[in-house]
Amino acid sequence: LLGILISTLYLQRSVSFLYIIPVLIYLSLIFKTNIKPLLFTIFGSFLIFFLIGFNNFKKTDRFYILSLEHQYYSYYHYFAGYIKADRKNIEISKAEEELQIAESNWMTANKIDLDHAEDYLKAIDFRNKSFLNEVIQNPLFTIKFFTKKVIMMCIIHPTWVEQSYKTDKSDPEARNNPKKYYHKNLKRNILYSIFLYFFILIGFISWIKNILKYKSLDNFDKFIIFNILSILYFVLISGFWGNPKYFTPCTLSLSLFFGYGINVILQKFKIVK
């Protein structure tokens, strides 16, 4: 049942594609040498993934789980231009134009027709290799760019759903001054986040101190480790986008450290024992 639940998360959002990894690490901490729970979880997840893959196979004669469209419009489509622009010290629009020309030339030379699944997969492979090549050639900027995006992603946005619903991309201000238009409440959100992260950091440090003090892990500590892995998973998978909506699953995990931190403060002032 756990495996089925994990795979149904992927049916909701493709970002959960590999979420089974932190779950399996957590199960290995809990059950240690007993691998049955891990095998059953993998099997349950496989059931859903197999149905997805089989459905795709019936339509394209190719067994795949992650949608081709999602693979095609991936990191290359959104971020390769930024990395190339910095590497060649040119405008982003110019870098994206060069990437499009290179891809177009490759498609022409290899007679690629995106209406055919086989060629579509070749185009995906070309894009993935091109993006990796850009990262290898400009690793320092990639790290800086990713870090900046992660910081933006981790700013907690309490009214994101409402603001996103009211966003009008056709608004002249959205085109002329996108930073101001899309970040109207940025100062408020930063202050709000600093307040929350203050207690979260206290809770995290207190938890680390307890681990070092007792030099052992109980089941609650292992559950905390699972939540840390969950946060790292979503940050690593979605960090490039820098969008707070992808950080939403992490707020549940962070709430544990927030509660931990509040408790430490209350104990310090002897409000609770």
- For residue 78, is pLDDT > 80? yes
Q: Is the pLDDT score of 272 beyond 80?
A: no
Radius of gyration of the chain (CA): 23
Model pLDDT for residues 172-187, shown as the tens digit of each residue: 887 788 777 778 888 9
pTM for this model (two decimals): 0.85
Burial of 142 (0-12, 13-18, 19+ CB in 10 A): buried
pLDDT tens profile 213-233: 888 889 999 999 999 999 999
| Percent of the chain with pLDDT strictly greater than 90 | 61
From the list 132, 124, 4, the residue with the least C-alpha distance to 64 is 124
Give pLDDT, residue 171: 79
Q: Is the pLDDT of residue 140 over 80?
A: yes
Q: Which of 189, 199, 191 is nearest to 258 (CA)?
A: 199
Non-local CB neighbours of 5 within 8 Å, separated by 6+ positions: 44
